[in-house]
Amino acid sequence: MAFLGGALYITQGQAVDVAGINCFAIRFVEAAAFLRVLNRGELSKVRFTSVDRWLLIFFGTYVSVMLLRTGTLDKYAVGMAVDGSLVYFTFRSLIANLDEFRDFMKGTVYVLMPFTLLMLIEATTARNPFAAMGGVPEVSYFRDGNVRCSGSFRSSIGAGSMGAAFMPLFIGFLFDKPQRTWAAIGIMLSLGIVLMSHSSGPLLATIAAIAAWGCWQWRAKMRTVRWGIVGSLVGLQLVMKAPIWFIFSHISDITGGDGWHRSNLIDQFVKHFQQWWLVGMPFDNTGDWAATQMPWGGVDVTNYYVSVGIGSGLISLVFLVVMLTKCFGLLGQGLRAARQLFTMELIDEAMVWGAGCAILTHVVNFFSVVYWDQSYVIYYIHLAIAVSLSQYLLIAQLGLEPEMELNISEAKIEC
């Protein structure tokens, strides 16, 4: 809970410069937490899955390809890999079963309450209380007359994305009557954060999470659902005059926001494939991709997938997609294991389903934002939770005690 509190209540204005590297306050939290799990031997109990390995492969490839292209270690790339690894493996160690996850989510409600209240103050006054710590503007931005609240995050999209990602996790606890009160409060807090951000990306991610929960009744037939989605996308491509990724532009016509910019960014990314596919390309070379340019000369890359491709080529983008695919595959195995265990209850399956919905929320968010502030902490926490819960159910299916050694190849931990 201290880790989550550090991510939500300390802005990136709290930082010190060490050898030219910005050491934000959250990085000290990361280091302290990682040292804690090392010191207590909790990290050594983590059994690696294919998701863990592919995540490390993705980080290693991203940094290596950028080194190959530029001839120097890119500080941003190294920071992304180190931050992501520390957060992910810390929470792989700290949340290893359903009880620990339940306790974490109960505590999250209490952590979100003051944060939501501070955002409400920002929404009513157009002044951000977190500005006292620096790193965020004192006067909030507006869109169509509405305050775009950002809280401790550097953009309203970051704050809204955080609320959107926590919302489906809370929904899972509605299946257990004793947990419903605090779960309902968590849902309201999360939705409040999304609405006060007035950002179309988090709103679209929230809709995706609700749609994913709408598939709960078909959870045993997800293969059919997935092929149905693929068929729907193919059908849309056949009837649309523009490529399928311009669906974001059409959605923004209804919800508002920068949907056309997101669609155009993907379109330019595809058209310039020859320039970036091998080892990426300098971000400065994207200046002609849109009508506006950022201060450094490039386009505003508001898409994580595009950012990975430009920064480190097609191989890194493929490895990222493989890692996410492995995660969903492992979640599917965990859900099947839960249905086969007589000791498991419906709430147990619902908690894991909620974790999968949270990962889907981030996957959708990645089309509209790059987690460039402490938002990455929330993403890697949720990724670690999804993997740990799935693995826990698979181990329980085998009838093994958590302390027993496990042969991964025999335990179907691999996706």
Q: Residue 174: count other Cβ atoms within 10 Å of its Cβ.
A: 17
pLDDT of residue 21: 74
Bridge partners of 65?
Answer: none
pLDDT of residue 410: 43
C-beta separation of 343 from 396 below 8 A: yes
41: DSSP letter: T
C-beta separation of 315 from 68 below 8 A: no
47: DSSP letter: P
C-beta separation of 165 from 375 below 8 A: no
Nearest Cα neighbor of 333 from 85, 104, 89, 50 is: 50
C-beta separation of 172 from 179 below 8 A: no
C-beta separation of 305 from 314 below 8 A: no
40: DSSP letter: T
Nearest Cα neighbor of 98 from 308, 400, 345 is: 345
Tokens 């989550």 locate to 4
pLDDT of residue 255: 65
CA distances from 22 to 7, 12, 15 (A): 16, 9, 6
pLDDT of residue 403: 40
Query: What is 332-383 written as a DSSP string?
Result: HHHHHHHHH-TT--HHHHHHHHHHHHHHHHHHHHTTT----STHHHHHHHHH
CA distances from 88 to 94, 153, 414 (A): 10, 20, 18
pLDDT of residue 408: 42
Model pTM score: 0.92
What is d(CA 87, CA 114) in angstroms, rounded to the nearest whole number?
A: 23
What is d(CA 140, CA 155) in angstroms, rounded to the nearest whole number?
A: 10
What is d(CA 111, CA 89) in angstroms, rounded to the nearest whole number?
A: 22
Q: What is the pLDDT along the chain (415 residues), one digit of tens a residue?
A: 999 999 999 999 998 887 777 789 999 999 999 999 999 999 999 999 999 999 999 999 999 999 999 998 888 899 999 999 999 999 999 999 999 999 999 999 999 999 999 999 999 999 999 999 999 999 998 887 889 999 999 999 999 999 999 999 999 999 999 999 999 999 999 999 999 999 989 999 999 999 999 999 998 888 888 889 889 889 988 888 888 888 888 777 676 667 788 899 999 999 999 999 999 999 999 988 986 778 777 898 999 999 999 999 999 999 999 999 999 999 999 999 988 886 778 899 999 999 999 999 999 999 989 998 999 999 999 999 999 999 999 998 876 544 433 444 444 444 3
